[in-house]
Structures are given as structure tokens and as C-alpha cells.
Amino acid sequence: MTDIIMPALSPTMETGTLAKWHIAIGDAVRAGDVIADIETDKATMELEATESGTVTGIMVAEGTADIAVGTVILQLGTFGANVAPPAAPPPPPMSPAAPAAQTDQAEATALGRKLGQLLGLSLSQLAARAPAQRIGMAAVMEAAGLGLPAAAAPAPAQVTLPAVVAPPVGNLATAPFETMALSGMRRTIARRLTESKQQVPHFYLTVDVVLDPLLALRARLNESLAARGIRISVNDMLLKAQACALLQVPEANVSFTDDGIRRFARADISVAVAIPGGLVTPVIRDASGKSVSAIATEMQALGAKARDGRLQPSEYSGGTASLTNLGMFGITQFDAVINPPEAMILAVGAAQPRAHVADGSLGIATMLTATGSFDHRAIDGAVAAGFMAAFRALVENPWQIVA
């Protein structure tokens, strides 16, 4: 018998959801066959069998969430093994009904508990008077001296009680709503970003950048690349500028660990990509060493895989810094949450015409606002300011990033 376990399909995966089985009891499975779809903290991925054999046991039902990594989810026997259909679980054993006096000795009815609270009587006081019976309304009234003994008390339906209004719980909205189950990805996003804001001392620096030179260079590059079917986006060029700025200010291309500060020799930029149900961060490795056209081609391919849920762990983990852009939504400026263990993330807003003074003259320029979020444990203010200045200089003099 071979056990197939829930694997760790990403570096941060602790639990997974078994979204769909592709096999059934009695099926023959060979190593490499796709046996299930697993929803991880980042995407829905296909699970391949690591061994061959006949399916003898499916240990986890389809749709089960929060399955811990290492849990046995499937059992395989030898090929050709006779497999009996799964038996229905036996019904729970029947037991004779016990008298209420034995089963409910320490129990108060909801009605009795409410009335006891109104009359200032504790459960222990009531239990002392009625140790061998269910503590109901009659017992409470007897204890308070307000009615007949419990044995002769009228039925609860014949007694009119004062209205009990439950106090409001928090500030809950009363509008109609539906509760949507948390996916593995959403749980992980919530956990990791909460940890980031609680444990990482964020500070923020913002610069306004003149974008016109970059837009002009981008237009010329796209004209020359049109025959190859390549189109460079503004974000591709900003990504390259960020990577180059990190190499110019290597003290900002770091990560904080308990053992010390890691300074990276290259800039691997994680790019936030929105997908249904959350976001993922495909990584452009060695972004400063790649041409802008290569970055554009790679980013298009990774973005498509991200939206299809086909990214592999090696494609979305291990960045040294992040870039997020909400300019396409008209957002002019925002502060992003650092994605640990990285120590910085650059948030880019929309490009828009603004008043700008150049050489003492007031004019109009296309500008954008960029805000860096920095981990103060690893990056000091002066270092962060040097990085932001380097980034602005590269964007405003973009030939430096394509030279």
C-alpha cells in the first residue's frame, strides 16, 4: 500500500484545498498522471501521482479545505488489486433514552438562564436548589420567590415573561449580506499582510516624476519592435528603472533576517498581478540585466499564466523587491504593504498632466507619483531617499536604462 500525501506546492503553503479529484476507487494510476486539482495559497495547480498503482482509498473528500501539508489524501495498491466499493459508515449505536434528571443535571434552559440573569441569580444558586433536574423557568421563579414550587409550576407557554432585548454585538451592519468562503489564497493574503503590518516597521517616501522623456522613448522603441510583435508598457520600463536603481543603491536591495541583513547581488522584481480572488507576484529575475523588450515579453507570459492559475512556485517566489501599479485605475498615489521577506515595495500611480516648473518657467508635464514602502529594520531613511532619487533620475533620463 502506498500513501499519497498533500504536498507543499509553494514555499508558503501550509494547507491546501482539494478542489477536484480526477480519479475514483479502482482506477489504475501511473506516475505522472494528474490525479487532482489542489488550490494552494497562490493558485490552483494540478497534482501528479508520484507512484503507480490501483486506487484503493480516497481519504479526503472533494472540496475539503484546510488540509495540512503531509496529510494522507490517497492510497494506492498494486495493479490489478480487487478493490471493494467503499462501505457506508455504520450508524451510531443506539442507546436507551436517559431520564432528564440524569442527562441535564448541570444544564439550564435558555429561558431559565435569561430569566435568572434578569433576577440576579447565578447558575450555581439555581443548581443548588434544583441539582437533579433541568433548570427551567419554574425553578428560577421559585428561587426568586416569585411563583409556585417548580413541581407545580404552570407550563412555560402559560407564563408571560418580561421582554428580553439582547444587547447589540459590536457595530454589525443590518443590510442583507452573503458570506463567501475564504479561499486558500485569500487566507494566506490575509495572514501574511497582517503579519507584515504588525511585525514590519513600515515607513514611506514619495516622489513626483516627470514622465514625458520615458513616454517619448517608449514610443520610439515600440515603433522599432512592432515587426517582432513586441509592445513595451510603461510598467515594463518602470520595472527596469527600479531594478537599476536598486543596483545603484545596493543598501536598499536587502532583506532582514534574524541572523543579519542579506544584501542581494542582483535585483529580482516581484510584480503584483491581480487575478480572480486575490493577487500573485510573478518575478522578473535579474531585471537590471535584461533588455526592456525581454522584460516585456517575459511579463506578458507570466501575467497570462498568473491569470490562468498556472504559475509554478519558482515563478512567483524569491523576489528581492516588489512593484505594484494602480495607475490604470486612475489612482494617483497609494501606500503598499511590504511582502516579507522583501524589505521594500514601490507603488506607482497614474500618469497625468500637471503643472510643473522647469528652468524657472511654469508649464505642463506628464507626471506620476511613486511611493516606496521600506522596512526600517533593514533600510534607513537616507538609504531609502537615495533609492527614490536614483529611481526618479532614471525615469527622467530613460536612455540610461536602455543603454
Which element (helix H / strand E) includes 48? Answer: strand 44-48
Work out the angle between the directed axes of helices 292-307 and 212-225 (0-180°, nearest 10): 80
Grid cell locating 298? 517575459
For residue 394, the number of C-alpha atoms closer than 13 Å in the C-beta half-sphere is 24
Q: Tell me which residue of 120, 141, 119 sits closest to 129, measured CA to CA.
A: 141
In angstroms, rounded to a whole number, what is the distance separating the alpha carbons of residues 223 and 216?
11
Q: Tell me which residue of 320, 291, 316 sits closest to 305, measured CA to CA.
A: 316
Q: Tell me which residue of 164, 156, 152, 160 sits closest to 119, measured CA to CA.
A: 164
DSSP string, 67-109: EETT-EEEEEE-TT---PPPPPPPPPPP-PPPPHHHH-TT-B-
Residue 138: strand, helix, or coil:
helix
Grid cell locating 312? 509554478
> Which amino acid type is present at position 220?
R
- From the number of C-beta atoms within 10 Å of its C-beta (0-12, 13-18, 19+), residue 356 rates as middle
Contact in structure between 322 and 272 (CB atoms under 8 Å): yes
> Which phi and psi angles does 367 have, rounded to 5°?
-130, 155
Query: So which residues are the catalytic ones?
Result: 376
In sequence order, the 6+-apart residues with CB closer than 8 A to the CB of 104 are 133, 134
DSSP string, 176-216: ---PPPPPHHHHHHHHHHHHHHHHS-EEEEEEEEE-HHHHH
Residue located via cell numbers 404552570: 154
Q: Could you tell me which residues are beta bridge partners of residue 342?
A: 255
